[in-house]
A and B are shown apart, each in its own frame.
Chain A
Amino acid sequence: MEDLLSARLQMAISLGFHIIFACIGMVMPFLMAFSHWKWLQTNKDEYLHLTKTWSKGVAIFFATGAVSGTVLSFELGLLWPGFMEHAGPIFGMPFSWEGTAFFIEAIALGLFLYGWNKINKWVHWATGVVVGISGVASGIFVVAANAWMNSPSGFDWVNGQAINIDPVAAMFNDAWFSQALHMTLAAFVSTSFAVAGIHAFLLLKHPGHSLHQRAMKIALTFGAITALLQPLSGDISAKDVAVRQPAKLAAMEALFKTSKPADLVIGGLPNVEQQRVDYAIHLPRFLSFLAHGDFNAEVKGLDSIPRDEWPPVVVVHVAFQIMVAAGMAMALIGLVFLFFAWKKKHLLFHKTFLTIVALATPLGFIAVEAGWTVTEVGRQPWILYGIMRTSDAVSPMSGLMYPMITFTILYLILAFLVTWLMARQIKVLHETYKPELQEA
């Protein structure tokens, strides 16, 4: 296999693996802290049990997230030395802050996991919150670094060298805010829906189990609110992309010809040879509106971009459709849940609703992976948009296929083991914790 392709695959697989653990590491602390707080307030056993059950899961996820993140910080150099040699001094600043955030996160997690009955109970609660806050902060920092690759700023590129470096300007590039906002919400949506889904599934098997009911209620409340905000934030992102990366937007929408006004293409399979989209639904003028807020605006198509600078259109378009579809589905579920919660009706006993939530378990993570595919594949062929090509950055070592295969196998094994361990946790929970007996 070609070295460049192997390197890209290895990067994609490592990041795709890490992001799942990163999302969980950012959001679970908040869910736990919420349940923990409820316990401190109400003294109800279920909340304590829930907090502890969740925290055991989190420890496993956190460790896997930490080590896979370590791999990433080396991989930037192992795979893309040509890029890092120039980029390190420019976009390193968010990484150095990310380091601080991780440190605090790791310390607070140690205190939280091992602090039961050892430290003051409110300090203990606060350490859980600190884990969440520093996790989100670290996420925002890395995303700012990634945003810089989409929207390079804070330096002048002269004769293949970066001069007049300004790391602060690089960190606060044009894309950082829209990406950081969207990613933070995405972490909440994906983790909350996954947690709610698992507890919904368990509720179908053990109807009325009070621990799962409380868990699902907490998780779905977080999930529903953020899922409703996510399309708004996505709209900000899309408008942003339209201005700063027209090639990416054109690929997302499979817009081959510059149009004024432009139709929104929903679904379908782009045919790049023939420059058309098969099996798609067209909404007249909607793309002009979504991209520029005006039904008559011009939207740049791929024909305005040199052919050798097109991103892979099919991948980007399909990934974008998947993200939006998943996002809409979750927003709908969230809306239904919040509506009935507001009406004080209990959907937690409603079989159909539980089935739908259970089926939605992977949706958030599917959206996250798809969204990153849009962002990263949509940036191709550039590693640093408009400045450096991915092919110029790759390591000169040949045989990159072998590390790629090794890491793929490693991550598959770990993914399998983590899933298996979660299943064992749940099984043991059901054997040792019987809410009916507790109440009697």
Chain B
Amino acid sequence: MFGIVVLFLAVSLLFYCLFGGADFGAGILEGFAGKRYRSKGRKLTYTAIGPIWEANHMWLILVVVILFMAFPKVYTVVSIHLHIPITIMLIGIVLRGCFFTFRHYDAVKDKSQRYYSWIFVLSSIISSLFLGIIAGAATLGRIDTSTTSFYEGFIYPWFNEFSFAVGIFACCIFSFLAAVYLIGETQEEELRKYLLNQALKANIVTVVAGGLVFLAAKINGFHLIDLLLSHLFSALCLLLATISLPILWIALRKRQVILPRILAGFQVLMILTAWLWLQYPAVINLQNGPDLTLFNTVAPQATIQVLGWALIVGSMLILPALYYLLRSFKFNTSAE
């Protein structure tokens, strides 16, 4: 059962990055849209993510519940020491979800639309940025559970170049995901071209931001390259992610819809796998004492047992429903 719980944790994290990430990215892209495409883009965002954002968002809840039930120490250490970035991310998530919905359901379409959009875009950026910062801080290993200083305990772990670089990388890759996803959602030639262009730009910045992560790691004295060389599987994953890029571009140019989506998802999968493999079995690297791993924080057997069954039975209920949802709204537009 332990294996199943870990698998669900990893898959939920992946799905949140993929689906939730594409939602965040759509918000970010909207902020960079030129005047001409603003209203069209907005409509597209709406039809593309309106019916599914709430379901996408559930993956995050699943991650949290699995963490606090199965790996309580991980959950509490993160909650204590990353209190500030988590709070900021949450405020972003709240504003984003609310204003996205308010914008669409406001019965009077007047000037307030502008404010809704503005906050939607801003909070999409903030949520993605801080999600990345939290991941970066968990990896960097500056969390010190014994310190009594406010700065060392609650600021220093996340307020650094590396965590911010990961945050920026998250924003970029989410935008890329969103652009690739949105291309398949429209039949309009002009809009398609425009999105293709957005995807390309997002792709370039993502690669640059990836470089930035390595640079920032160096600045913060975190030996990322050495780590990669000693974890060849991770290095291989990153390599595969890079190799699949040209294929993705060719497929996009050939007006394919499904293949580019799969490839973009594959890239995220590879990057996430590379990261998790570098970390494994650690979840949180600590500055003082041994890291928090999947093994030294795991809850008692009885808990893992009931959680595992809940996840298995739950997913048997959820997956067919999710498939039906996607089929009803997604595949009919992209089938053309």
Q: How large is the interface on B (under 10, 10 to 19, 20 to 34, 35 or more residues)?
A: 35 or more
Q: Which residues of B contact A309 (CB under 8 A)?
A: none
Do the beta carbons of A68 and B58 come within 8 Å of each other? Answer: no
A243 interface residue per 8 A CB criterion: no
Do the beta carbons of B58 and A60 come within 8 Å of each other? Answer: no
- Select A403's contact among B69, B77, B87, B150, beta carbons within 8 Å: B87
- Select A97's contact among B104, B107, B314, beta carbons within 8 Å: B314
> In the complex the two chains form, what is the Cα distance from A395 to B93 in whole Å?
22
B251 interface residue per 8 A CB criterion: no
Q: Which residues of A contact B107 (CB under 8 A)?
A: 56, 421, 424-425, 427-429
User: In the complex, what's the smallest C-beta–C-beta distance from B51 to chain A, in angstroms?
Assistant: 4
Do the beta carbons of A421 and B64 come within 8 Å of each other? Answer: no
Do the beta carbons of B65 and A63 come within 8 Å of each other? Answer: no
Do the beta carbons of A100 and B70 come within 8 Å of each other? Answer: no
The residue on A at minimum CB distance from B96 is A67
> In the complex the two chains form, what is the Cα distance from A373 to B50 in whole Å?
36
User: In the complex, what's the smallest C-beta–C-beta distance from B129 to chain A, in angstroms?
Assistant: 17
> In the complex the two chains form, what is the Cα distance from A100 to B8 in whole Å?
13
User: In the complex, what's the smallest C-beta–C-beta distance from A176 to chain B, in angstroms?
Assistant: 16
Do the beta carbons of A84 and B58 come within 8 Å of each other? Answer: no
Q: Which residues of A contact B318 (CB under 8 A)?
A: 100, 103-104, 107
A51-94 Cβ-contact flags toward B at 8 Å (1 or 0): 00000100110111011111101101110011011101110110
Contact stretch, chosen from B136-144, B272-280, B298-306: B298-306
In the complex with contacts A73-B65, A89-B70, A397-B153, A103-B55 CB distance below 8 A: yes
Q: Which residues of B contact A99 (CB under 8 A)?
A: 58, 61-62, 65, 314
Contacts of A91-136 to chain B: CB distance below 8 A? 92-93, 95-100, 102-104, 106-111, 113-115, 118-119
Contact stretch, chosen from A29-37, A163-171, A218-226: A163-171
> In the complex the two chains form, what is the Cα distance from A62 to B321 in whole Å?
19
> In the complex the two chains form, what is the Cα distance from A73 to B310 in whole Å?
18
User: In the complex, what's the smallest C-beta–C-beta distance from A94 to chain B, in angstroms?
Assistant: 10
Q: Which residues of B contact A119 (CB under 8 A)?
A: 328
Do the beta carbons of A78 and B86 come within 8 Å of each other? Answer: yes
Do the beta carbons of A93 and B306 come within 8 Å of each other? Answer: yes
A355 interface residue per 8 A CB criterion: no
Contacts of B93-107 to chain A: CB distance below 8 A? 93-98, 100-102, 104-107
- Select A406's contact among B58, B77, B87, B302, beta carbons within 8 Å: B87
User: In the complex, what's the smallest C-beta–C-beta distance from B49 to chain A, in angstroms?
Assistant: 10
A208 interface residue per 8 A CB criterion: no
User: In the complex, what's the smallest C-beta–C-beta distance from B276 to chain A, in angstroms?
Assistant: 21
Interface residues of chain A, those whose CB is within 8 Å of chain B, are 56, 59-60, 62-64, 66-71, 73-74, 76-78, 81-82, 84-86, 88-90, 92-93, 95-100, 102-104, 106-111, 113-115, 118-119, 165-168, 395-399, 403, 406-407, 410, 414, 417, 421, 424-425, 427-429
Q: Can you report 5 residue pairs joining A to B where beta carbons are below 8 Å apart?
A: A93-B69, A111-B51, A114-B51, A167-B306, A403-B83
Given contacts A92-B69, A428-B107, 8 further A-B contacts (CB under 8 A): A63-B97, A64-B98, A70-B61, A76-B68, A77-B75, A89-B299, A102-B58, A114-B51
